[in-house]
Structure 1
Amino acid sequence: MTDLAEERAPTFIQHAAESVRAHLAASRPLSSFLEGAGTLTLEERRIIVDQALVLLDQNYVHLPLKTAMHAVNPVQRLRVLRRRLERQTQQTMPPEWLFHAEMSEVFHSVRDLHTNYLLPEPFTGRIAFLPFLIEQYTDAQGTHFMVTHVAQGFSAPGFAPGVEITHWSGIPISAAVDLNAARFAGSNAPARRSRGVQSLTVRPLLIHLPPFEEWVTVSYIDESGTQRELRENWRIVENLPPMVDADAISTAALAQGLDLDADEASRAKVLLFAPRVVAQVQAVRAGEPTPGLRRSEVATTMPKVFRTQHVETSSGRFGHIRIFTFNVNDPMAFVREFVRLIGQLPQDGLIVDVRDNGGGHLHAAEFALQVLTPRRIAPEPVQFINTPLNLRICRRHQDSSGIDLGAWVPSLEQAVETGATFSGAFPLTPEDGANAIGQQYFGPVVLITNARCYSATDIFAAGFQDHRIGPVLGTDENTGAGGANVWTHELLSDLLRGDRATPYVPLPKGAGMRVSIRRTLRVGALSGTPVEDLGVVPDELHRMTRRDLLEDNADLFNRAGLLLKAREPHTVSVTDAVSVNGSLKLKVKAANVDRVDVYVDQRPYASADLTDGQADVTVPVAAAARAARIDGFEAGRLVASKTEQLS
């Protein structure tokens, strides 16, 4: 059976899509890959532990929370490990994989997907994979685990999307998922279980040790009801490159809110199961027409970020936009493309879908909210933990262009006297940017989340709920509950570059670390509540069905359609603007609005009631007015806001 498994992999690669074939051809079986692993010296291991102590003891913002909530003491565990390393020699030190396993276990113990130990070469940047994907659904009989995607070119008897998995290497599949979930970080039970399912077949080696087994035996029931088994080898391949360099000092790196595991896994799934997206990226770069679009889809300049389509539901036709990631370098370019895409969709109902989105640029996430609501967006404030090292970093960059950590300095200095645990809370996202363009979509909006929404996506979902944009429809009881801004060890080192007393030293052989540096707090009705470990609880819960997994979310979209149908669009617009004798005469048209207030160049000038959805409004201002903002109200409640350029 081993020989058959070894033969199947070259066949799968040979028949892979052209856009990824050459990339996958470089993959290797796990056994041969591991032959080149394990070159850390004893001194290099000591350096890694010392640097982990600096990050967790002096930078980690959630340390008090995690110590209390999960009854863990990662700092003491690192001190004990460091003491053991002092007693070891190059000859007596244990195998390297045991060292990596212990370091990973220490970081995983805090259940924070922002705070990671990143494995060195040859693991960094690579993934372990099996050529199929498994997802779970629920029906009256309970929870089921089903194959939903098979890599192009891969085949086995009766093995196709829709087959149900019963056992994983002899372990009942549900128990295998729970065992996997226990090994991976996650702020709540739904998040851990969700990652337990995903990691059955896709594991980023940057964060996780390679599988202990060289192959798995999958027991499944095919469509005819026949019980079968498949034996398949793990393979290792270089992942698709990340979209943002999180180690360089840049706005994108400093505003990172990213679940690295989810981001790595998302790119791996594109490589393995969505090669058309790779082809679309190649076409965009070459300035060619977008290949592989379905009839209902809208072409995008950011295929790895968005998928946009018209969907037919039992309640009518609505727009659907999937946001796969917020991990971009330019948040305003992200928002412009978001606005362009939703402008080509039906305007009486929009489904915004952020499932499996691991986050990214916090500005992109919070800038996007304004597009969907007439309300002014209040970005979530963030806090440092009060330590001498964090104060030192903030002092050094309190006036730095593009960094500017000055807002946190006074409260960090004050903590020396008050003993406060956290600094003052200030928005990381610029409030002007979060309200620069205002509302652009005027129909009702539903947000779909799941337990793999994390970090910037948690913050996007929290802002969506806190600003009462629309109902949150979750396929799990919580989002991933990652409420922090994350910085890498290399970025922290760069922020103190040239400081002779810096505690940071370079990590050996491409090893890395990340840490939650600033925690986020919610606004609105839940003002001051931390996002970490709590996440966003959806307003409505929908359990994924077999039909959802096999028929492009059919039941989920029907549920979202019902929520949209119960709400009505509210629109306002200026149909004509004429200057007469120093006054501005506006013709305003609106739907489901009974009053409009008019602002010209951000100053209030007029208010009028509507008759049959229309009103003539005269504003006594000069003809040089540049823009008019029309706020629409229904029964005294702000329901729409439109800014019209007048010149």
Structure 2
Amino acid sequence: MSTRTDRPVPDYIAKAAAPVRDHLAAATTLASFLQTAGTLTLDERRVIVDQALVLLEQNYVHLPLKAAMYAVNPVQRLRLLARRLERQTDADMPPEWTFHAEVSEIFLSVRDLHTNYLLPAPFNGKIAFLPFLVESFTEQGDGTAAERFLVTRVAQGFAPPGFGPGTEITHWSGIPISTAVDLHAARFAGSNVEARRTRGVQSLTLRPLRIHLPPFEEWVTVSYLDADGTARELREDWQVVDNLPPLVGTGTLGTAGASQGIDLETDEVGRAKVLLFAPRVVAQQRAVEAGEPAPGLEAGEIATTMPKVFKAREVTTASGTFGHLRIFTFAVDDPVAFVEEFVRLVGLLPDRGLVLDVRDNGGGHIFAAEFTLQTLTPRRITPEPTQFISTPLNLRICRRHQNDPDIDLGAWVPSMEQAVEIGAAFSRAFPITPEDGANAVGQRYSGPVVLVTNARCYSATDIFTAGFQDHRIGTVLGVDRNTGAGGANVWTHDLLSALLADDPATPYRPLPAEASMRVAIRRTLRVGAQSGTPVEDLGVTPDELHRMTRRDLLEGNADLMERAGQLLKAMTPHAVAITDTATTGGALRLKVKTTNIDRLDVYIDQRPKASLDLLDGHADVTVPDAAAANSARVEGYVDGELVASRTEQLH
């Protein structure tokens, strides 16, 4: 272990933006940080391996799939590791980092970002970082395409000669940058080639130590070209600091903890990016909590009550002016409040078209993802069904939590009991998201929608994207050929322990030193035209592909927005709206405005009451004996196909 701790404090930390300056002041070099690591005893290591065996052998829903797709056997590897630990003593056990490396590699072998070994103290909650961000784009030539790597963000106060946004990286610690990315990609999980490669780029400068071992190198040497094309080099130390805290906890017993679908790495990296490169978001969050106006809004940006979750703005393209709504995460405690803020923001954006951008969204609360779909379509939403793997331990958990108000697992019990007789690998499939909640609000945005994705979309965001495509809401525009392909609900070791806390024969034991684990517990299946297809490892293939350009990286996604604008312009808007209601003599009168609709159906308190053909964009409908009705819904059709809907509460 290194003892090189004499490196000076970097100038950029003292020059950091005010909202994060005190936080970053606690940063230390990687070498200094590592002096606090390495305290696990041999018995503690044995407990970790024992619990990893329980989760992977008896809870892990994707084990048969991963063994087949990647020819791996993580359970046997853990058994072998456990056997070696039995033969070791406190005097001859290897260094702790080698233990962490082996357990991490076993978990990473299944290429599942839901299924993680989470390192103990002092690693948990820390982020290792360099003060700049590297991203890639595709440069088109004469029938060729080459991947190039640019600096896109730098921390405030970090200004080496000729180094900043737009700087091209050529080598990484002496390795050609493309090769360095390949080497990094091979070390990090990802369910497809593009997912692994994009994480290889990301890991160049940001490493969540909760999930990954610290970098082996204490510093990196970056070779780059300045604005004049002059070759330069930069040597920069890795720094370690506490990350910003997560938005929600995922280990407690309850609906929120049991309904998580989140890539913890992307969630950690997203918070680190805010800390290092978007301190205005920290200031905006503090303003929201203090009831003050949001500072630092950009031109055309709309203030939000959830600045760490949403960013809404108008974007003008050659095809017109549209709304652009970025969803950074679905990690919220209250999915209903999430949908309410989403509806409020889209209501303030242009109704001619919406660019819904979920790039780099690692997921979160599955309810929040699937509840949101209804606001964009007149069609009824069918939430994705999920399955447990049929094991005695999973059956035991489900039996103990039948009709549990916090986490009701009763639906899965009969098929898991039957699996013992018929040898079924999985339970029957039932949705996690309640179907009533997924359809309680109805359509709230009637314009065309383009959904922008990339290979870092994962988990609940995979589920959201699959639902968007399966319900034919709009066009999926991908900057990669797949989403991240994380098709599962994930539970932590803490949650599993809590589910059997009152069972004296529980196999779950407390983990030492704040170590933890997560496991994909229920796999998700698609609906609609691809009904029954698993999301895991396949992800969602976009309808259209746009490769990121230099302008995208350096000019606010300029070419990407132009491409989205072209798609929106080519889509026909359809809308219906109840503009006025009145009661006369016990009858209810509705005035309705429509766009590109040829038939209107009217429902009062969910019952059909009228249907009429339209010659223009207006309708005046009188429904007898409906003055006391609670709700009215109008549905618009074109050539017999439902294309728009609006529900209004009348009292």
TM-score by length of 1: 0.98
Q: Which position in structure 2 is the counterpart of 1:177?
A: 181
Name the CA shift for 1:5/1:18 in 2 (closer, same or farther; >3 Å). farther
Which residue identity lines up with residue 108 of structure 1 in the other structure? L
Which residue identity lines up with residue 23 of structure 1 in the other structure? H
Q: Which position in structure 1 is the counterpart of 2:440?
A: 436
Which residue identity lines up with residue 473 of structure 1 in the other structure? L
Cα offset, 1:5, TM superposition: 10
Aligned runs of 1:166-565 on 2, under 5 Å? 166-565=170-569
Q: Confirm or deny: 8 A CA contact 1:455 1:484 kept in the other structure.
A: yes
Q: 2:611 aligns with which of 607, 624, 629?
A: 607
C-alpha distance in 2 between matches for 1:85 and 1:104: 16
Residues 212-265 of structure 1: CA deviation (Å, up to 9, x unaligned): 000000000011111000000000000000111111112111000000000000
Q: Which position in structure 2 is the counterpart of 1:83?
A: 83
Which residue identity lines up with residue 389 of structure 1 in the other structure? L
Cα offset, 1:278, TM superposition: 0.5
Cα offset, 1:10, TM superposition: 3.1
C-alpha distance in 2 between matches for 1:622 and 1:188: 55
Q: Confirm or deny: 8 A CA contact 2:635 2:642 kept in the other structure.
A: yes
The answer to whether residue 82 in structure 2 is matched with residue 99 in structure 1 is no
C-alpha distance in 1 between matches for 2:422 and 2:499: 27
C-alpha distance in 1 between matches for 2:220 and 2:564: 38
Where 2:436 maps in the other structure, the secondary structure is helix
The answer to whether residue 647 in structure 2 is matched with residue 639 in structure 1 is no
Q: Confirm or deny: 8 A CA contact 1:5 1:231 kept in the other structure.
A: no
Where 2:133 maps in the other structure, the secondary structure is strand
Cα offset, 1:359, TM superposition: 0.1
Residues 547-597 of structure 1: CA deviation (Å, up to 9, x unaligned): 000000000000000000001211112233333343323222211000000
Q: Which position in structure 2 is the counterpart of 1:73?
A: 73
CA RMSD of aligned residues (A): 1.3
Name the CA shift for 1:245/1:232 in 2 (closer, same or farther; >3 Å). same
Cα offset, 1:401, TM superposition: 1.1
Cα offset, 1:340, TM superposition: 0.5
C-alpha distance in 1 between matches for 2:91 and 2:578: 79
Which residue identity lines up with residue 560 of structure 2 in the other structure? L
Where 2:424 maps in the other structure, the secondary structure is coil
Where 1:555 maps in the other structure, the secondary structure is helix
Higher mean C-alpha deviation, range 85-94 or range 57-66: 85-94
Aligned length in residues: 645
Q: Confirm or deny: 8 A CA contact 1:605 1:620 kept in the other structure.
A: no
C-alpha distance in 1 between matches for 2:535 and 2:560: 26
Cα offset, 1:4, TM superposition: 14
C-alpha distance in 2 between matches for 1:279 and 1:60: 40
C-alpha distance in 1 between matches for 2:244 and 2:605: 46
C-alpha distance in 1 between matches for 2:231 and 2:255: 54
C-alpha distance in 2 between matches for 1:464 and 1:569: 17
Q: Which position in structure 2 is the counterpart of 1:131?
A: 131
C-alpha distance in 1 between matches for 2:252 and 2:647: 37
C-alpha distance in 2 between matches for 1:368 and 1:398: 28
Q: Confirm or deny: 8 A CA contact 2:5 2:29 kept in the other structure.
A: no
Which residue identity lines up with residue 589 of structure 1 in the other structure? K
Cα offset, 1:619, TM superposition: 1.9
Q: Confirm or deny: 8 A CA contact 1:374 1:439 kept in the other structure.
A: yes
C-alpha distance in 1 between matches for 2:83 and 2:580: 77
Q: Confirm or deny: 8 A CA contact 1:17 1:275 kept in the other structure.
A: yes
Cα offset, 1:3, TM superposition: 11
Where 2:456 maps in the other structure, the secondary structure is coil
Q: Which position in structure 2 is the counterpart of 1:17?
A: 17
Which residue identity lines up with residue 28 of structure 2 in the other structure? R
Cα offset, 1:622, TM superposition: 3.0
Which residue identity lines up with residue 124 of structure 2 in the other structure? T
TM-score by length of 2: 0.98
C-alpha distance in 2 between matches for 1:521 and 1:481: 12
Q: Which position in structure 1 is the counterpart of 2:148?
A: 144
Which residue identity lines up with residue 450 of structure 2 in the other structure? V
- In structure 2, stretches of 5+ residues that fail to align are none
Which residue identity lines up with residue 16 of structure 1 in the other structure? A
Q: Confirm or deny: 8 A CA contact 1:572 1:590 kept in the other structure.
A: yes
Which residue identity lines up with residue 592 of structure 1 in the other structure? N
- In structure 1, stretches of 5+ residues that fail to align are none
Q: Confirm or deny: 8 A CA contact 1:348 1:568 kept in the other structure.
A: no
Where 1:210 maps in the other structure, the secondary structure is coil
Cα offset, 1:140, TM superposition: 1.7
Q: 2:582 aligns with which of 568, 572, 578?
A: 578
C-alpha distance in 1 between matches for 2:417 and 2:483: 35
Cα offset, 1:420, TM superposition: 0.2
Q: Confirm or deny: 8 A CA contact 1:381 1:521 kept in the other structure.
A: yes
Q: Which position in structure 2 is the counterpart of 1:30?
A: 30
C-alpha distance in 1 between matches for 2:108 and 2:542: 26
The answer to whether residue 51 in structure 2 is matched with residue 51 in structure 1 is yes
Residues 36-83 of structure 1: CA deviation (Å, up to 9, x unaligned): 100011111010000000000000000000000010000000001001
C-alpha distance in 2 between matches for 1:113 and 1:439: 33
C-alpha distance in 1 between matches for 2:133 and 2:627: 62
Which residue identity lines up with residue 433 of structure 1 in the other structure? G
Which residue identity lines up with residue 600 of structure 2 in the other structure? V
C-alpha distance in 2 between matches for 1:3 and 1:92: 26
Which residue identity lines up with residue 401 of structure 1 in the other structure? P
C-alpha distance in 2 between matches for 1:450 and 1:577: 44
C-alpha distance in 2 between matches for 1:558 and 1:637: 30
Which residue identity lines up with residue 168 of structure 1 in the other structure? W
Q: Which position in structure 2 is the counterpart of 1:116?
A: 116
Higher mean C-alpha deviation, range 66-75 or range 620-629: 620-629
Aligned runs of 1:618-633 on 2, under 5 Å? 618-633=622-637
Where 2:348 maps in the other structure, the secondary structure is coil
**Which consecutive aligned stretches of 4+ in structure 1 deviate over 4 angstroms post-superposition?**
2-5
Which residue identity lines up with residue 484 of structure 2 in the other structure? G
Which residue identity lines up with residue 213 of structure 1 in the other structure? E
Name the CA shift for 1:328/1:451 in 2 (closer, same or farther; >3 Å). same
Q: Confirm or deny: 8 A CA contact 1:5 1:233 kept in the other structure.
A: no
Residues 479-517 of structure 1: CA deviation (Å, up to 9, x unaligned): 000000000001100100021100000000000000000
C-alpha distance in 1 between matches for 2:131 and 2:350: 37
Residues 370-391 of structure 1: CA deviation (Å, up to 9, x unaligned): 0100001000000000000000
Residues 105-162 of structure 1: CA deviation (Å, up to 9, x unaligned): 0000000000000000000000000000000000125100000000001110100100
Q: Confirm or deny: 8 A CA contact 1:365 1:457 kept in the other structure.
A: yes
Which residue identity lines up with residue 116 of structure 1 in the other structure? N
Q: Confirm or deny: 8 A CA contact 1:391 1:409 kept in the other structure.
A: yes
Where 2:306 maps in the other structure, the secondary structure is coil
C-alpha distance in 1 between matches for 2:532 and 2:541: 16
Sequence identity (%) = 72
Which residue identity lines up with residue 180 of structure 1 in the other structure? H
C-alpha distance in 1 between matches for 2:126 and 2:517: 16
